[in-house]
Amino acid sequence: MSPSFNVLLGLLTVLPHYYLAQAAGFPAPLLEPLLEERQASTVPDYVTTYAPVVWLYSGETYFPGDLAAQLTNTVPEINYKPITGYTTPLTLNNLAELNAFNGTQVYLTSTVDITTNPAWLNGVKPDSTGKTEGATSMFVIVNDHGNGEVDAFYMYFYPFNWGGIVLDQDVGDHVGDWEHNMIRFQNGKPSVVWFSQHSFGEAFTYDCLEKQGVRPVTYSGNGSHANYAIAGDHDHTIPNLNLPDDGLLTDFTDQGTLWDPLLSAYFYSYNPSANTYTPYDPSYPSNWLSFLGAWGDEQYPNSDPRQHEIIPGVSATAKYTSGPTGPEDKQLNRTKVCPTSNEFICEIHTKLGP
Ligand SMILES: *[C@@H]1O[C@H](CO)[C@@H](O)[C@H](O)[C@H]1NC(C)=O
Ligand SMILES: *[C@@H]1O[C@H](CO)[C@@H](O)[C@H](O)[C@H]1NC(C)=O
Ligand SMILES: *[C@@H]1O[C@H](CO)[C@@H](O)[C@H](O)[C@H]1NC(C)=O
């Protein structure tokens, strides 16, 4: 199609919205329908058609888990002390009430000592169809930037992160683990896919990725659940430089258990200016998305006998670190495909790699 034909087609699609908005007395930018008009009331079909499938590691013991179960197995604490005075029971429909208690200081803390290995930390192993039966563990958030550019965040939830072994010692274990892929669509076609890895990540063109049908494949690191585009060992000791060898910090991935997160998922559209989430189905809880606190225990102090620092005094080398914040903190309105951690070197790989 010629560019001028595209413009004509665009005008024909957009003008009715423009005049409708004018008639309703709302100012409308020319050439762009209102966000409310663009937001479909059902999940855009391309968001499900191109949803990633996830290979979990063959030796994985910490599977994806049910988000609501995280609330029944924890209590909110500030400064290691349970808080009181909130609506009970806490559910995905009232969790953000906790924001009134210095929200960012709230840690959803396991009710039992996690060193006793309570079973809920292990999540739910996907069955032979790839489903985490009874456990809703993916949350898809759609941000329509306008001009045909739509980001779909596929947020994966795991009840526990096993950080791995460094210099023969456990490091970086924490309750609660949020990871994600983000697919940037242009006019309903997937263009680039972001893979979250620890505090960083990688971007690849959709075209170069391994696929099952049209669905991109992601490999989840053993325990850490960092997302990689190819199977194998991933040395991530140096941020943003992934090497295929075993280094100080290595993620192991392979085709262990196939997880199809679409089979147990909730879907939302996101309005960045209002910072609100609209569930595509009224049965999907959405209040929890505004919760500002952490989805796991606060890093245990060094006085806690469970705690241990590989390098004494360096809290980042602790055996147990703090639980993560939720999707709200994942830069849902990012301009580049990469979040700010990778903004300056937002390299979009056109070939598969570690
Ligand atoms: C995979 O993770 C489990 C803990 O969940 C650990 O025991 C095992 O050693 C890990 N495997 C590798 C290869 O790191
Ligand atoms: C919030 O934090 C402030 C400053 O740390 C403290 O004075 C206040 O008591 C806290 N409020 C609650 C409800 O925890
Ligand atoms: C969201 O990002 C777009 C650019 O894609 C920007 O124009 C807009 O101002 C941002 N909205 C907010 C609330 O930051």
pTM score over 0.85: yes
Residues 70 and 20 in one domain: no
Residues 25 and 117 in one domain: no
**How many angstroms separate the first and last alpha carbons of the chain?**
37
Residues 7 and 94 in one domain: no
Interatomic CA distance for residues 186 and 134, integer angstroms: 34
Distance of CA 186 from the midpoint of ligand 2 (Å): 45
Instruction: Output Rg (C-alpha) for the chain, integer angstroms.
Output: 21
Q: What is the mean pLDDT of residues 303-317?
A: 90
| Lowest model confidence (mean pLDDT) among 18-32, 143-157, 170-184, 253-267 | 18-32
User: Which band of pLDDT confidence, cut at 50, 70 and 90, is reported for residue 7?
Assistant: very low
* pLDDT per residue as tens digits for the range 172-227: 999 999 999 999 999 999 999 999 998 889 999 999 999 999 999 999 999 999 99
Q: Cβ distance 281 to 319 under 8 Å? A: no
The answer to whether the peptide bond before residue 64 is cis (omega within 30 degrees of 0) is no
* Greater model confidence, 310 or 32: 310
Residues 13 and 147 in one domain: no
Range of the domain at 268: 50-349
Residues 183 and 120 in one domain: yes
| Lowest model confidence (mean pLDDT) among 20-34, 228-242, 337-351 | 20-34
Distance of CA 287 from the midpoint of ligand 1 (Å): 35
Looking at residue 121, its amino acid is L
Ligand 3 lined by 272 (C-beta under 6 Å): yes
Q: What is the mean pLDDT of residues 80-95?
A: 97
**What is the residue with the minimal CA distance to atom 13 of ligand 1?**
252
Which of 153, 173, 111 is CA-nearest to residue 272?
A: 153
- DSSP 8-state assignment for residue 52: -
In a domain, 44, yes or no: no
Ligand 3 lined by 145 (C-beta under 6 Å): yes
| 315 phi and psi angles, rounded to 5 deg | -65, -25
Give pLDDT, residue 164: 87
Ligand 2 lined by 102 (C-beta under 6 Å): yes
Distance of CA 159 from the midpoint of ligand 2 (Å): 28
**What is the residue with the minimal CA distance to atom 4 of ligand 2?**
102
Ligand 3 lined by 4 (C-beta under 6 Å): no
| Lowest model confidence (mean pLDDT) among 19-23, 106-110, 204-208, 329-333 | 19-23
Looking at the structure of the chain, the number of domains it has is: 2
